[in-house]
């Protein structure tokens, strides 16, 4: 399956390469024509002059406009190639992971055959379906057995798995000791009746410790699965294991309402969004619900300042910058004044985030489950956020240089131009801006639908959300969160995306 996909990607890459070559050849020829036509205006020996005229006369296309179009085509081809290379890398990575898992499985069978498998590590597979499931590479515990009737029902439902709505994934991040596990515990014990799977990412020695410290819900959530990902941080080394873990979980989609993914305290949450957005198979089965960052009110200032004088950027900043919800926890340990300052500080890093104060993460469940922070159907909420950010001044500069900026313009936009612009600033880092997060609503030419744009690091998505309402002011509003943001350039670029046909 993966091999086939790799071949497909390679085929597409080949085609894209051919197109780029053809476009470059044409561009070279056109540039010769352009040079020749310029040279015609300069004195030349007659024979050279004649040759130049011939080149110009043989060219029937309007050179300048064709050159512009070709340059655009080449750029698009490059972006496509960039995307294919990335997919190929991901696919190859997954292929390797599957191979490794296969070889492990072979080892497992050999050991089991000799009766020597340590019981703790042996997966408790109680049904045929579970035996057939490919487990994630690391520890997986299945806490439920199915009787034959529910197994059959489950199998029937299994056939219609694709028709089920995607399962929401809440990423819980936050600095070391902020209260992430406390939040997971709280959710699992809440009276919401949801069936929840938990994925934990801990470093080597900690494996199993987190698991033991979290109490499964009693009368609340049914913990379907615990998946512990070892050996590294989700944002780098265990990415493939995470994809596999998610894939395994969604095989049981009919028995799951939600997935919680608790990261290590030193994780940068951005790559997680890209995993959930970029993986085609996963995309239909799971969706990023929201990124929740738990913040320790007592220690936040210290955590933010720790790296201020060094070149490394504190994870605490990034975790706040990417958050949709910030739970300002341990408010019992600070005064009201400090709390207000902290709220200001958090908003100066990320003014889009919804800040909730808490003691022991006791927050309203609706804030943490089914936020739909990335869902186009929640365009109204997004619009409200953007409206609040409109008044934001660019002088709200945080010490770190991380700032939030809102740019607005009322002209109808050309979607291709918007894509090119976003790719320039997110992928090519044109203008040296470091954009962590971007959210916006767009008024697109030839469309009566409001479009939303979402970006986390280099991954972005533009989707039609709903029809514009009559009374609405069709303004484009985009909020950027990042470092070295340049308001003038952003506004100029947004205006440059205006459609010329309207």
The answer to whether 329 contacts ligand GTP (rule: CB under 6 A) is yes
Least distance to ligand GTP from the beta carbon of 213, Å?
A: 7
Q: Binding to ligand GTP by residue 359, rule CB under 6 A?
A: yes
Count interface residues toward ligand GTP (CB under 6 A). Answer: 15
Helix (H), strand (E), coil (C) string for 25-77:
HHHHHHHHHHHHHHHCCCCCCHHHHHHHHHHHHHCCCCHHHHHHHHHHHHHHH
Q: CB of 351: closest distance to ligand GTP in angstroms? A: 24
Q: Which of 28, 104, 360, 429 binds ligand GTP (CB under 6 A)?
A: 360
List 83, 123, 177, 208, residue binding ligand GTP (CB under 6 A): 177
Q: Considering the rule CB under 6 A, would residue 319 count as an interface residue with ligand GTP?
A: no
H or E segment to which residue 491 belongs: helix 487-496
Tell me the closest approach of the beta carbon of residue 366 to ligand GTP, in angstroms. Answer: 20
Find the Cα–Cα–Cα–Cα dihedral 185, 187, 189, 194, rounded to 10°. Answer: -140
Nearer to ligand GTP (CB atom), residue 137 or residue 179 = 179
Kindly state the smallest distance separating residue 120's Cβ from ligand GTP, in Å: 22
| Collapsed DSSP state (helix, strand, coil) of residue 370 | coil
- CA distances from residue 448 to 35, 411, 442, 465 in whole angstroms, order as listed: 44, 14, 11, 10
Q: For ligand GTP, which is the closer residue by CB, 170 or 181?
A: 181
Query: Binding residue for ligand GTP (CB under 6 A) from 70, 97, 178, 227?
Result: 178
Contacting range for ligand GTP; rule: CB under 6 A; set: 109-117, 175-183, 247-255, 267-275:
175-183
What minimum distance in Å lies between the beta carbon of 345 and ligand GTP? Answer: 18
Three-state DSSP state, 339:
helix
Among residues 54, 332, 399, 448, the one that binds ligand GTP under rule CB under 6 A: 332
Contact, 484 vs 403, CB < 8 A? no
Nearer to ligand GTP, 181 or 348 (CB): 181
CB of 242 to ligand GTP, least distance (A): 17
Of 135, 217, 265, 269, which lies in the binding site for ligand GTP, with binding defined by CB under 6 A? 265
Q: What share of the chain is helix, strand, coil (3-state, %, to 5)?
A: 50, 20, 30
> Of 99-107, 124-132, 172-180, 343-351, which segment contacts ligand GTP by CB under 6 A?
172-180
Q: For residues 229 and 272, what is the distance between their CA atoms, to the nearest angstrom?
A: 14
The closest alpha carbon to 231, from 138, 313, 154, belongs to: 138
Residue with tokens 């199998």: 155
- Give the torsion sign (CA, 311, 312, 316, 321): positive
101 binds ligand GTP (CB under 6 A): no
The 3-state secondary structure of 451-469 reads EEEEEECCEEEEEEEEECC
Residue linked to tokens 């049904």: 127
Q: State yes or no: residue 333 binds ligand GTP (CB under 6 A).
A: yes
Residue closer to ligand GTP (CB basis): 332 or 448? 332
85 lines the binding site for ligand GTP (CB under 6 A): no
Per CB under 6 A, residues contacting ligand GTP are 174, 176-182, 265, 329-330, 332-333, 359-360
């Amino acid at each position: 399956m993966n091999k086939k996909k790799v071949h497909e990607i390679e085929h597409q890459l080949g085609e894209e390469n051919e197109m780029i070559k053809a476009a470059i050849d044409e561009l070279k020829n056109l540039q010769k024509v352009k040079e020749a036509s310029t040279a015609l205006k300069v004195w030349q020996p007659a024979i050279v002059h004649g040759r130049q005229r011939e080149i110009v006369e043989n060219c029937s296309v309007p050179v300048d406009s064709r050159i512009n179009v070709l340059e655009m085509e080449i750029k698009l081809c490059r972006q496509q190639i960039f995307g294919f290379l990335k997919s190929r890398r991901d696919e190859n990575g997954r292929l390797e992971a599957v191979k490794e898992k296969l070889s492990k499985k072979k080892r497992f069978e050999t050991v089991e055959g000799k009766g020597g498998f340590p019981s703790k590590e042996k997966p408790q597979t109680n049904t045929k379906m579970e035996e057939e499931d490919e487990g994630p590479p690391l520890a997986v515990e299945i806490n439920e057995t199915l009787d034959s009737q529910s197994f059959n029902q489950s199998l029937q439902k299994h056939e219609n798995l694709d028709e089920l709505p995607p399962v929401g994934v809440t990423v819980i991040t936050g600095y070391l000791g902020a209260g992430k596990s406390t939040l997971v515990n709280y959710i699992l014990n809440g009276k919401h009746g949801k069936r929840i799977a938990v994925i934990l990412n801990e470093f080597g020695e900690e494996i199993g410790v987190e698991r033991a410290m979290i109490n499964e819900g009693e009368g609340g959530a049914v913990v379907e699965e615990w998946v512990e990902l070892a050996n590294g941080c989700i944002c780098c080394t265990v990415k493939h294991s995470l994809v596999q873990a998610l894939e395994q979980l969604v095989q049981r989609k009919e028995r799951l309402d939600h997935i919680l993914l608790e990261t290590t305290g030193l994780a940068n949450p951005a790559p997680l969004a890209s995993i959930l957005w970029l993986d085609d198979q996963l995309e239909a089965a799971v969706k990023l619900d929201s990124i929740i960052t738990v913040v320790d009110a007592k220690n936040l200032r210290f955590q933010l300042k720790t790296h201020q004088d060094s070149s490394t950027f504190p994870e605490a900043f990034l975790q706040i910058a990417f958050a949709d919800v910030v739970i300002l926890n341990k408010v019992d340990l600070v005064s009201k004044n400090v709390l207000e300052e902290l709220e200001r500080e958090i908003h100066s890093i990320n003014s889009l985030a919804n800040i909730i104060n808490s003691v022991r993460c006791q927050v309203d469940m609706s804030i943490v489950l089914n936020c739909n922070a990335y869902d186009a159907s929640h365009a109204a909420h997004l619009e409200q956020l953007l409206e609040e950010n409109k008044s934001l001044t660019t002088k709200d500069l945080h010490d770190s240089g991380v700032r939030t900026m809102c740019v607005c313009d009322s002209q109808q936009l050309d979607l291709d131009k918007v894509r090119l612009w976003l790719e320039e600033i997110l992928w090519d880092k044109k203008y040296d801006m470091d954009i962590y997060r971007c959210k916006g609503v767009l008024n697109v030419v030839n469309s009566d639908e409001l479009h939303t744009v979402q970006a986390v690091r280099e991954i972005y998505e533009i989707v039609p959300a709903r029809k514009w309402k009559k009374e609405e002011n069709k303004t484009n509003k985009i909020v950027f969160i990042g470092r070295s943001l340049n308001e003038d350039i952003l506004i100029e670029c947004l205006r440059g995306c205006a459609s010329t046909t309207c």
